[in-house]
Amino acid sequence: MSLWEPPNLADVRVSYDSGQLGEEGLAGDPLTQFRQWWQDAAASDIPEPNAMVLATVDAAGRPTTRMVLLKGFDERGFVFFTNYHSRKAEQMAVNPHVSLCFPWYPLHRQVTVTGVSQRVSGAESEAYFRSRPKGSQLAAWASRQSEVIPNRAVLESRYQELAARWPAGVEPAVPDFWGGYLVVATTVEFWHGRESRLHDRLRFTANDGTAALDRPADWQLQRISP
Ligand SMILES: Cc1cc2nc3c(=O)[nH]c(=O)nc-3n(C[C@H](O)[C@H](O)[C@H](O)COP(=O)(O)O)c2cc1C
């Protein structure tokens, strides 16, 4: 019988030798560069390549992180959807500054964004809500996200009540407590792992705090020490 040996974490490391990121190969604006890396991530076998870490802070400046799904990006910024009464939403109401991290480390890549969050329009939230599977729509109604509940049965019975309210063929209403956020970027950093930890880091910083992602003139590019 062989016993499972826990790995010695000090010895767990990957060598990053799959490419590089140079100024000459970088797009002139963060949107074009992000789109190229997004296409590579989407074509790879990374599960849920649109999963990103969202960091927010509470009123006392204490950070929290969680995964959310990127549901769109364009010259305005990066869009995700959530419950407007959730912990993250309460935090963004107090302090809209957030950070995103795309953990594409199987490609030896990472993109990090700092920026300012704002709600998207009701029409944009509605359009996405209507595109979701019905089960997800009902779950958005059933979940008072981030609240303590006594047990799972509470959640499931709420779901069943809602399924009866909107039976097959009847479209659920769009909850007014649910919708999207747009993260308008202040910085977008592209990281590529290199041998011996001499990684490439190229960071776009918006000249005026925030800027349209597709306007090269509005961004300053700097190389950052790894
Ligand atoms: C891969 C993955 C994707 C997720 N996507 C979302 C999402 O798009 N929106 C969302 O509200 N929660 C999403 N979640 C759940 C969040 O991580 C989190 O548990 C939830 O939003 C509550 O966070 P909060 O209490 O900090 O507000 C996702 C979780 C995982 C693991």
Q: Which domain holds residue 50?
A: 17-223
Please give the distance, rounded to the nearest whole angstrom, from the Cα atom of residue 88 to the centre of ligand 1: 9
Q: Cβ of 162: how many Cβ atoms within 10 Å?
A: 16
**Considering the domain boundaries, does residue 3 fall inside one?**
no
Report how far residue 17's alpha carbon sits from residue 82's, in angstroms, rounded to the nearest whole number: 37
- Cα of 139 vs centre of ligand 1, distance in Å, is 13
Ligand 1 centroid to residue 146 C-alpha, Å: 10
Does residue 24 lie in a domain region? yes
Residues of the chain with pLDDT under 70: 1-2
Provide the number of structural domains found in the chain: 1
Pocket mutation for ligand 1, best pick of 52, 67, 143 (most atoms within 8 Å of C-beta): 67
Share of the chain above pLDDT 70, in %: 99
Q: Where residue 105 sits, what CATH number does that domain have?
A: 2.30.110.10
Determine which one of 130, 165, 197, 223 is catalytic: 197
CA distance 5 to 72: 43
**Is residue 7 in a domain?**
no
> Which residue's CA lies nearest to atom 7 of ligand 1?
68
Query: Is 197 noted as a catalytic residue in this protein?
Result: yes
The pLDDT, as a whole number, for residue 7 is 80
The answer to the question of residue 1 being in a domain is: no
d(CA 121, CA 51): 22
The reply to whether 71 falls in a domain is yes
- CA dihedral sign, ordered 127, 133, 137, 143: negative
Segment 13-58, tens digit of pLDDT: 899 888 999 999 999 999 999 999 999 999 999 999 999 999 999 9
Q: What is the pLDDT of residue 1?
A: 59
d(CA 83, CA 68): 11
Amino acid at 74: D
Which ligand 1 atom minimizes the distance to the CA of 82? Answer: 11
User: Has residue 75 been placed in a domain?
Assistant: yes
Closest-CA residue, ligand 1 atom 14, reads 68
